[in-house]
């Protein structure tokens, strides 16, 4: 009972999420949680994203399997929901595009034959939200990403690991944050 | 399989128990054939079953070091000689206090003492040992010492023999003095309560009364003074008058208890309560948390509570009172997440109604229409998930008990400008 701690929902922009490809497990039994380590050192087992659902398609053959594309100011997230995510699949089936959606989900990765890693999100929940919530999320994600960029000089083991793997360019991500925030300012 | 059964049988025979072979074979066969359990697992399960049936110790069977001592070899010790956990000892001691048992599995709990020290003891309900009485002296044979949070206690078990003795054991004048003998324990500040098992008196105001979770508890909640707040538990058996939220009292002779590094005070038979005229100022223990609602957990929405103890029912039954005709209530158990912390929060009916826009009456008719209580939770999830909220409340264990909740639906422009300025600097 006391051992269980719910995984925090990390805030990561679509661009950084797309540029992530390092997964690892904490511990080595089959129930150890899997994490995606992003270039700025976010250790992600769960994500919270708010964006615009711009495409959706049932790509399932036997049963419904929904693919959606959710965009934020920096790019887009791919989301996949099938029979094991019944609530999310139903929400995708019923909603219209475009729509503002809030998604809580798990990161997942797929490596193609050429060895390229694609990231996507397996949603636990999808809900329709308003534009204000979407803007709040952009500011929220900017703040958390900024915190991570500032911490890139730390010797924290996740940061060290991320920098070693990605050779993280600080300017690349700080300009991403600035652009996202400016877009917010322009819209308002 | 027959071989396995025979080996089990002969092993039990060595322990002096004759189990009919066909009984063993039958159990083994059922597990292996019908439930497809591997033979090894089945063997273990059968052994465990018969050990339990015959009240035998596992270690006796598996020939490991026996934890059931031969009472001839158990040493008689004085209480101050108990300095490690897991030792079997015999002690002669006097029962100084019996506390109210907090759990049905505990039949008696309290303090015993001899001329060298006092120590807490626990007697489990599962062991049929006659009850001890306050003020009498006993010879406790085959009890086990335990270490718990750096303190020692003794537990009585099924091998324990308790004999009342005629001599009146002299007891060390203990730090417990003051509790039972009419002298009130010293008055302390709430923030200074930091020693498990210590008797204290406090002057404090009842800042919250919570839903009661157990029939042996008459009231539970928070009391506070200018230095802090602390959880209190008032046992039903203490037969004390009920406390009112917002009133201030002098609590004489309450016991500090530590649990998971947090302290609470319990009010028991030796405690007394005097209402005070003054209004004690309580240090604010309220915290603020802002984040996105990432989960509305099961157990939220329309629930039924036991009319006796207010505990939420599971499948129409109360853990304490069994099948009861519950009364409806609304609540939300939400997870708010700010990207660094996932904070569980509990909203009671008024707040659940306020943010979901669903009143208790709405919820009852929604559930009646759908023939399903779950529709209320579904509606709440639809309405609340993914949105930002700010809550205030008090932190209790891993929850915030929410006092107020506001949706955050507007960008704080000042904050945004600061954030932009911050981002320009790197």
Query: Per residue in B14-55, pLDDT tens?
Result: 878 888 899 899 888 877 765 655 677 678 778 878 888 887
User: What's the confidence (pLDDT) of residue B64?
Assistant: 45
Say whether both B105 and B52 belong to one domain: no
The answer to the question of residue B414 being in a domain is no
Q: Is the pLDDT of residue A144 over 90?
A: yes
Partners of residue A170 in chain B, C-beta under 8 Å: 426
Residue of A nearest to B414 (CA): A185
Give the residue from B275, B296, B329 where a domain finishes. B275
Check: CB of residue B210 under 8 Å from CB of residue B240.
no
Distance, in angstroms, between B423 CA and closest chain A CA?
A: 6
Say whether both B215 and B321 belong to one domain: no
Per-residue pLDDT tens for A64-98?
999 999 989 998 999 999 999 999 999 999 998 88
Interface with B, mutate which of A52, A127, A182 (most B CBs under 10 A): A127
Say whether both B236 and B312 belong to one domain: no
User: What's the confidence (pLDDT) of residue B149?
Assistant: 66
Per-residue pLDDT tens for B301-320?
999 998 888 888 888 888 87
* Mean pLDDT to the nearest integer, B142-146: 87
Say whether both B304 and B347 belong to one domain: yes
Query: Which domains are delineated in chain A?
Result: 9-187 (2.40.50.140)
Q: Is the pLDDT of residue B142 over 70?
A: yes
Say whether both B396 and B299 belong to one domain: yes
Q: What percent of chain B has pLDDT over 70?
A: 90
Q: Which tokens hold the place of A90?
A: 């139903």
Interface with B, mutate which of A5, A8, A173 (most B CBs under 10 A): A8
Counts of helices then strands in chain B (DSSP H, E) = 8, 21
Question: A134: pLDDT confidence band, cut at 50, 70 and 90?
Answer: very high
Q: Is the pLDDT of residue B327 over 50?
A: yes
Say whether both B269 and B333 belong to one domain: no
Mean pLDDT highest for which of A35-44, A87-96, B171-180, B189-198? A35-44
Distance of alpha carbon B347 from alpha carbon B351, whole angstroms: 6
Residue B156: give its domain's CATH number: 2.40.50.140
Q: Is A99 on the interface with B (CB under 8 A)?
A: no
Lowest mean pLDDT among A57-61, B30-34, B239-243, B382-386: B30-34
Mean pLDDT of chain B: 85
* Mean pLDDT to the nearest integer, A127-143: 94
Please tell me the total number of residues recorded for chain A in this structure: 188
* Mean pLDDT to the nearest integer, B379-386: 94
Q: Is B18 on the interface with A (CB under 8 A)?
A: no
Check: CB of residue B334 under 8 Å from CB of residue A5.
no
User: What's the confidence (pLDDT) of residue B181?
Assistant: 46
User: What's the confidence (pLDDT) of residue B183?
Assistant: 60
The answer to the question of residue B179 being in a domain is no
Query: Which ranges of chain A does DSSP label H, i.e. alpha helix?
Result: 14-18, 86-94, 131-150, 157-166, 170-187
Q: Is the pLDDT of residue B57 over 90?
A: no
The answer to the question of residue B71 being in a domain is no
The answer to the question of residue B251 being in a domain is yes
The answer to the question of residue B387 being in a domain is yes
Say whether both B300 and B258 belong to one domain: no
Q: Do A6 and B423 touch (CB under 8 A)?
A: no
User: What's the confidence (pLDDT) of residue B65?
Assistant: 43
Say whether both B208 and B137 belong to one domain: no
User: Domain range spanning residue B259?
Assistant: 190-275
Say whether both B296 and B388 belong to one domain: yes
Q: What is the ipTM of this complex?
A: 0.94
Q: Is the pLDDT of residue B322 over 90?
A: no
Quick one: angle between helices B21-29 and B2-14, nearest 10?
Answer: 130
User: Which residue in B339, B381, B388 is closest to A133 by CB distance?
Assistant: B388
For chain B, what is the domain count? 4
Say whether both B159 and B212 belong to one domain: no
The answer to the question of residue B302 being in a domain is yes
* Mean pLDDT to the nearest integer, A104-126: 94
Distance of alpha carbon B235 from alpha carbon B248, whole angstroms: 19
Cis peptide, bond prior to residue A98, ω within 30 of zero:
yes
> Higher-confidence residue: B417 or B214?
B417
Write the secondary structure of B209-246 as one string of H (helix), E (strand) and C (coil).
Answer: ECCCCCCCEEEEEEEEECCEEEEEEEEHHHCCCCCCCC
Distance, in angstroms, between A116 CA and closest chain B CA?
A: 28
Say whether both B50 and B119 belong to one domain: no
**Residue in A118, A125, A83, A122 with CA at minimum distance from that of residue A101:** A125
Distance of alpha carbon A13 from alpha carbon A121, whole angstroms: 13
Rg (CA), chain B: 28
User: What's the confidence (pLDDT) of residue B70?
Assistant: 52
User: What's the confidence (pLDDT) of residue B213?
Assistant: 67
The answer to the question of residue B16 being in a domain is yes
B368: phi then psi, degrees, rounded to nearest 5: -65, -40
Question: B171: pLDDT confidence band, cut at 50, 70 and 90?
Answer: confident
> Higher-confidence residue: B389 or B135?
B389
Question: B180: pLDDT confidence band, cut at 50, 70 and 90?
Answer: very low
Distance of alpha carbon B143 from alpha carbon B159, whole angstroms: 8
Say whether both B86 and B58 belong to one domain: no
Lowest mean pLDDT among A46-55, B17-26, B171-180, B372-381: B171-180
User: What's the confidence (pLDDT) of residue B16?
Assistant: 81
Distance of alpha carbon B85 from alpha carbon B110, whole angstroms: 18
- Strand order of the β-sheet with A43-44 is A22-25, A34-37, A43-44
Query: Assign residue B301 a region: left if phi > 0, alpha if psi is -120 to 50, beta otherwise?
Result: left
Query: Which ranges of B300-391 does DSSP label H, i.e. alpha helix?
Result: 349-356, 360-370, 374-384
Partners of residue A142 in chain B, C-beta under 8 Å: 419, 423
A4: phi then psi, degrees, rounded to nearest 5: -80, 125
* Mean pLDDT to the nearest integer, B243-265: 88
Q: Is the pLDDT of residue A187 over 70?
A: no
The answer to the question of residue B342 being in a domain is yes
User: What's the confidence (pLDDT) of residue B346?
Assistant: 95
Beta bridge mates, B289: B391
CA angle in degrees (0–180, nearest 5) for B408-B411-B416: 135
């Amino acid at each position: 009972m006391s051992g269980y701690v719910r995984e925090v929902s990390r805030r990561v922009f679509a661009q950084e999420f797309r540029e992530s490809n390092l997964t690892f497990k904490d511990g080595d039994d089959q129930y150890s949680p899997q994490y995606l380590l992003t270039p700025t050192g976010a250790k992600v087992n769960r994500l919270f994203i708010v964006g615009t659902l711009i495409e959706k398609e049932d790509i399932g053959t036997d049963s419904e399997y929904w693919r959606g594309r959710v965009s934020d100011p920096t790019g887009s997230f791919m989301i996949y929901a099938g029979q094991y995510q019944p609530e999310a699949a139903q929400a995708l089936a019923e909603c219209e595009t475009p729509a503002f959606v809030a998604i809580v989900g798990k990161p997942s990765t797929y490596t193609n034959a050429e060895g390229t890693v694609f990231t996507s999100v397996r949603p636990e929940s999808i809900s329709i939200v308003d534009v204000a919530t979407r803007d709040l999320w952009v500011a929220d994600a900017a703040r958390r990403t900024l915190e991570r960029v500032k911490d890139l000089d730390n010797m924290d083991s996740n940061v060290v690991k991320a920098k070693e793997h990605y050779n993280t360019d600080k300017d690349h991500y700080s300009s991403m944050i600035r652009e996202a925030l400016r877009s917010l300012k322009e819209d308002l | 399989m027959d071989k396995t059964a025979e080996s089990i049988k002969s092993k039990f025979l060595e322990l002096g128990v004759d189990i009919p072979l066909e009984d063993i074979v039958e159990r083994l066969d059922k597990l292996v054939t019908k439930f497809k359990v591997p033979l090894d697992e089945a063997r273990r399960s059968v052994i465990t079953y018969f050990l339990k049936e015959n009240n035998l110790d596992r270690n006796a069977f598996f020939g490991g070091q026996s934890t059931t001592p031969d009472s001839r070899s158990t040493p008689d010790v004085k209480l101050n000689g108990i300095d490690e956990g897991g030792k079997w000892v015999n002690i002669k001691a006097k029962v100084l206090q019996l506390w109210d048992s907090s759990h049905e599995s505990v039949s008696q709990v309290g303090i015993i003492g001899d001329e060298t020290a006092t120590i807490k003891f626990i007697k489990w309900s599962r062991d049929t040992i006659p009850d001890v009485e306050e003020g009498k002296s006993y010879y406790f044979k085959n009890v086990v010492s335990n270490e718990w949070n750096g303190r020692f206690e003794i537990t009585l078990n099924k091998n324990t023999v308790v004999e009342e003795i005629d001599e009146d054991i002299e007891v060390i004048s203990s730090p417990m003095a003051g509790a039972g003998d009419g002298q009130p324990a010293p008055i302390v500040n709430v923030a200074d309560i930091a020693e498990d098992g210590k008797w204290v008196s406090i002057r404090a105001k009842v800042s919250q009364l919570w839903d009661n979770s157990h029939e042996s508890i008459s009231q539970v909640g928070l009391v506070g003074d200018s230095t802090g707040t602390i959880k209190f538990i008032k046992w039903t058996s203490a037969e004390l008058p009920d406390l009112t939220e917002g009133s201030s009292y002098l609590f004489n002779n309450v016991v500090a208890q530590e649990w998971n590094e947090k302290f609470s005070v319990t009010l028991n038979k030796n405690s007394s309560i005097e209402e005070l005229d003054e209004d004690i100022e309580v240090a604010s223990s309220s915290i603020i948390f802002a984040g996105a609602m990432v989960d509305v957990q099961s157990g939220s929405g329309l629930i039924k509570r036991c009319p006796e103890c207010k505990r939420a029912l599971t499948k129409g039954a109360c853990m304490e009172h069994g099948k009861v005709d519950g009364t409806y209530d609304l609540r939300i158990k939400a997870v708010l997440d700010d990207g660094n912390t996932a904070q569980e929060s509990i909203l009671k009916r008024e707040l659940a109604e306020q943010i979901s826009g669903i009143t208790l009456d709405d919820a009852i008719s929604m559930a009646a229409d759908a023939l399903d209580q779950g529709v209320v939770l579904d509606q709440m999830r639809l309405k609340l998930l993914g949105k930002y909220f700010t809550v205030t409340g008090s932190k209790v264990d891993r929850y915030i008990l929410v006092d107020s909740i506001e949706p955050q639906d507007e960008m704080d422009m000042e904050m945004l400008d600061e954030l932009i300025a911050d981002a320009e600097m790197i």
